[in-house]
Amino acid sequence: MVAQLPRPDVSARFDSIAAVFAVDLEQRIVSSTPAADAILGRHPDDDMPCYDVMRTLDPRNAARCRADCTEVVAARRGWTPRDPLCGTRLASTRAP
C-alpha cells in the first residue's frame, strides 16, 4: 500500500532569506520567498509561467526554460527531474 501524502498548502510562503520558488505542473510559480520575488522582479500574486520569468532574467535561459521543458515533463510522469535547478542562470552569472 502506498501512502498518499497531503497536498501542500501552496498559499503558504517559504520562511527563508534564500531566493527560492516552486512551480506546479502547469509551470506557474505557486510559492516564492521575498528574496526570489526581488530577484525575479515579480509580485507574489503575478500569474506568470516560470519560463517567461527566467527568460526575462537572462536570454541564455531560453534554451532550457520553455513550455513543457524536460524537467516538468519528467515531473508530470512521476519521475525525478534530472536537474531540479533546471540549469538556469541569472543575468549576473557568467557563462562557464
The amino acid present at 74, given as its one-letter code, is: A
Coil, strand or helix at 32: strand
Rounded-to-integer distance, Cα 11 and Cα 59, Å = 30
- Entry pTM: 0.65
pLDDT tens, 57-83? 888 887 788 898 888 888 889 888 776
Burial call 5-31: b when 16+ CB within 10 Å, e when fewer = eeeeeeeeebeeeebebebeeebebeb
Q: How far is CA 85 from CA 1, 5, 42, 45, 57, in A?
A: 31, 23, 19, 22, 15
pLDDT tens, 3-39? 554 555 554 555 557 788 888 899 998 888 888 888 8
Rounded-to-integer distance, Cα 35 and Cα 39, Å = 6
Check residues 83 and 56 and name the one with the higher pLDDT.
56
What pLDDT sits at residue 31?
Answer: 84
